[in-house]
Structure 1
Amino acid sequence: MSQPEAFGRYRVIRRLGSGSFATVWLAQDDLLNYPVAIKVLAENWAHQMDIQHRFLEEARILRQTDSTWLIAVHDVDVLPDGRPYMVMTYADQGSVADLVRRGQLPLDEALRLLTEIGQGITVLHNHGTIHRDIKPSNVLLQSSPVGQRVLVADLGFAKSIDEASGFTAAAGTPGYMSPEQSIPGGDLDVRSDVYSLGAVAYELITGRPPSRPPVRIAPGRIRPGLPPALDELILSALSVDRESRPGDAKTFTDRVRAIRMAPDLPTADPWWRRYRMPWHKVGGLVVALAVMTMGVTASVGHPGMDLKLVRSNDHSLEMRVPLVWIDEFDTDLEARPVTVNAGAEPGLLFATDAENWRSADQPSYGVYATVMPGVQPLSSITDTEPCPGAPTERLIDDGMWEGSAWDWPDCNDNGSFTIAAVHESGVPKTVYLEIRQPDYRPDLVDKIIGAVTLR
């Protein structure tokens, strides 16, 4: 969707992100001189009445609960083409997922966030609603006069508790949803949200999401020094048997609050314990880090072209992107139609201009990556050439990744463009990448491909 000028009286500034069902825009209410976020139903769902109903039901729930801990809906309207949109609170500090990506949180900070998330879910439960899609990217952060404020958002899958026995389709996000949510027709209750709170807690504490159920590795084995009560609480919330979980969000949140307020809560882990680093290896690590940093910078070869580690929300896909390209990002960008047909998942985009990533006229540099099942050659998943003229085809074989890349050294007078499809030996998954750069540098392309990691 191209950027509109306005939605009603709200002047559009830029796109904040998009998902499978909607796009969210930052806009300015010029009448009240206040920024807002506007969520608009995606064009491909414009005529699906059940999706429209779900979209409007989300707005109704948020409006009716009207809680400090939930994103607020200020207005709802319909575009001329029939698509509804809702005007919401703008969360200027991103999401909890953004926070986790920056590094491990102090324990007290992680527990504070978890307490406030739990309070938001408690409000929903008291309202008679199950969220069904609690995850770090659906918890937003907003500046406030008293500091950072947590706002639970994205109630697109939310349903009334009274209807919990009649769900006919699985809903939620793998890694965060309870085992019973993956079974269509499963009998759900508020303990499904408790499982998701446990998964979010695990990631806030350790920096990575839990494994698939049953989860057996306690957070304290990843981050030594945690209170035993915290390990016990998180593992109980992640129990496959929902009878073993805390009874509701309030019970879970009260226990988190009690752990946080305990006088013996560790204020910080010593760094050697946090990383389980034997003292005699410290010197070697410092040297290794120095060599690695010098190697990356030198191999890239341009000032300011250091590579920064970025990852998907579930940490299943990691890659390194030149820092100067990361002005905007989208961690749920729909793949090109031909790769969707090949089974591609929504992908990662880090670029100078995310909105115009696939525009032939606008200069935009960055990296897009998605994952497809099976080993698929590049020729089988590329239907239209993104640039005029024939590409330069070359093989990729760096000892880890095998596949091929097509390079267009000059793409529409807008730098170079590369597409690649690579796989690891013996692993039935293909990583598809698009790389735009201002200059033709195949060495940088190879460096980016070589730093991709699948988990």
Structure 2
Amino acid sequence: MTISRRLGIDSIGRYRVSGLLGTGAFASVWRAEDDTLDAPVAIKVLADNWARHLDVRERFVSEAKLLRLADSDRILRVLDIGELPDGRPYFVTVLADGGSLEDRLAKGPLPEDEALAVLVEVAEAVCVLHALDIVHRDLKPSNVLIHRDRVVLADLGLAKALAQGSGLTQVAGSPGYMAPEQSRSGAVVDERTDVYGLGALAHRLLSGSTVGEPSARLEGRLGRAVRRALQADPDRRWPSARAFVEELRAVAAGEKSLSRKRFVLPGVVAVSVLGLAAGLFYWQQKPVEQQRQQQGAAPTTTVKPIDPALCRAGDLRVLTGGDGAEPLNSNRRNMELFFASDKRECKLFGRLEDVRFVQADGKVIPLRYGDGQGEPVEVQVGEGGWASVQLNWDVDAKNRDVKPLTPARMEFRLPGSLDLVVFPWDKGPVGDGGQVEVGPVVWATG
């Protein structure tokens, strides 16, 4: 008899429960199967003894909303939310399949170039949150998961929307990773609090010890960058996570080994999202690589280090060409995006990712996306080099009684990066449910 049956839980909503991944002070996390989509999921359920505490319940639901709001491959994705018959709320996330960073560190320290690659990935995830005015407040290895080949940030149970006010009235965080101001009731918590958390995570990855424990001094430019992040006075830290991550990238660019090596993450059989408010994880380690290969298992997944030659959002100017109708089709419009760089020569290769149109109220316009024709070309942008991408969209509404919608802005991510590029949209309406095609990166012409 499975543990789920012993506890009297066979299903949660439409999901078939297959086992308990773990329990914590505020919630339990279950492994379940989505039989409709034929995929495993993790379901976090608020503990019964907290279900009637409105503040805890609100924080639990808020966590799901914040995770959903992030809508990024760098943040653990929420797929669904609901309530059990007894009124306890739950939300469903993807089931991380690659372990936690804490699990990896338990096997030994990381080489410096691998640690740098991971730090950059985590810092970029934090930048995604900060772009939404969300501060995480609990950055630690157990809250960093590996899903497929990506570093994924989890546990927003302590996160707080900065737009709701900067005064913090509740002491929250984890010893060894918590900024000093988090232990003071009423202190201001902002982006610099997460800068400290990133510095504490860097200290653990690079020295093998948490802040406050005996460890070797970190030397050189990297050591100075970490020590600045760990300043007790927030005004003396890096002013933002973006400033810190750019310094880490500069250090990484000077480490030739970083561009040659990959960060290898051991396989894990079952990893839950229990690092979310509960702060506990359940996992089962797989055998070592040699044993796995003898059993015919696939090689362990890897996280590729950042290629410093790739263009970042901060490097580029994005311009748009004039729009017009496609020949013989007045319902299709087209335009060209141009990319230029005045800061440094960098390269673009591939296709734009996560392209979407957003209305002024923040709602994403529902559209179908397809790739434009042609193959991408590696383009060196800067010093006279310009890249371009063709964009075609449908202005015909799916329902002819509904007028086409006019976006306030267009958003997308650069190929090879999760940097979000946002610019105002002034090219007219797009069709609700219409088709959008985005061509590959090519050399700009004309």
Question: Is the TM-score greater than 0.5?
Answer: yes
Matches within 5 A, 1:172-191: 172-191=173-192
- For the 8 Å contact 1:96–1:141, the answer to whether it is kept is yes
Partners of 1:71 and 1:329 in 2: CA distance: 13
Q: CA deviation at 1:217?
A: 5.7
The superposition leaves residues 254-284 of structure 1 with CA deviations (integer Å, 9 ceiling, x where unpaired) of 111221121456899xxxxxxxxxxxxxxxx
1:62 and 2:67 matched: yes
Alignment identity in percent? Answer: 43
Partners of 1:123 and 1:348 in 2: CA distance: 24
1:94 and 2:95 matched: no
Equivalent residue for 2:246? 254
Partners of 2:271 and 2:242 in 1: CA distance: 34
Equivalent residue for 1:36? 41
One-letter code aligned to 2:240: D
Partners of 1:234 and 1:3 in 2: CA distance: 49
Q: CA deviation at 1:3?
A: 6.2
The superposition leaves residues 56-98 of structure 1 with CA deviations (integer Å, 9 ceiling, x where unpaired) of 1111111112011100001000001111111101111121111
- For the 8 Å contact 1:164–1:189, the answer to whether it is kept is no
Partners of 2:137 and 2:280 in 1: CA distance: 22
Q: Closer, same or farther in 2 for the Cα pair 1:258/1:265, shift >3 Å?
A: farther
Equivalent residue for 2:121? 116
- For the 8 Å contact 1:39–1:85, the answer to whether it is kept is yes
Q: Closer, same or farther in 2 for the Cα pair 1:157/1:126, shift >3 Å?
A: same
- For the 8 Å contact 1:195–1:237, the answer to whether it is kept is yes
One-letter code aligned to 1:37: A
The TM-score, its normalising length taken from structure 2, stands at 0.56
Q: CA deviation at 1:38?
A: 0.8
One-letter code aligned to 1:39: K
Q: Closer, same or farther in 2 for the Cα pair 1:63/1:267, shift >3 Å?
A: closer
Q: CA deviation at 1:25?
A: 1.4
Equivalent residue for 1:84? 89
Partners of 1:206 and 1:237 in 2: CA distance: 15
Query: Structure 2 unaligned runs (5+)?
Result: 261-268, 286-446
- Relative contact order, CA 8 A, sep 6+: which one is greater? 2
Equivalent residue for 2:226? 234
- For the 8 Å contact 2:63–2:159, the answer to whether it is kept is yes
SS at match of 2:42: strand
Matches within 5 A, 1:319-330: none
Q: Closer, same or farther in 2 for the Cα pair 1:195/1:217, shift >3 Å?
A: farther
The superposition leaves residues 216-241 of structure 1 with CA deviations (integer Å, 9 ceiling, x where unpaired) of 96335xxxxxxx11111111111101
- For the 8 Å contact 1:259–1:265, the answer to whether it is kept is no
Partners of 2:150 and 2:117 in 1: CA distance: 10
The TM-score, its normalising length taken from structure 1, stands at 0.55
Equivalent residue for 2:150? 149
Partners of 1:104 and 1:152 in 2: CA distance: 20
Equivalent residue for 2:211? 210
One-letter code aligned to 1:218: R
SS at match of 1:166: coil
Matches within 5 A, 1:54-453: 54-143=59-148, 148-211=149-212, 218-220=217-219, 228-263=220-255
- For the 8 Å contact 2:195–2:238, the answer to whether it is kept is yes
Partners of 1:263 and 1:235 in 2: CA distance: 19
- For the 8 Å contact 1:164–1:188, the answer to whether it is kept is no
Structural RMSD (CA) = 3.2
Q: CA deviation at 1:16?
A: 2.1
One-letter code aligned to 2:218: P
Partners of 1:13 and 1:165 in 2: CA distance: 41
SS at match of 1:194: helix
Partners of 2:281 and 2:73 in 1: CA distance: 31
Number of residues of Structure 1 aligned to a counterpart in Structure 2: 271
Q: CA deviation at 1:247?
A: 0.9
Q: Closer, same or farther in 2 for the Cα pair 1:3/1:211, shift >3 Å?
A: farther
Q: CA deviation at 1:328?
A: 9.2
SS at match of 2:210: coil
One-letter code aligned to 1:234: V
One-letter code aligned to 1:253: V
One-letter code aligned to 1:243: D
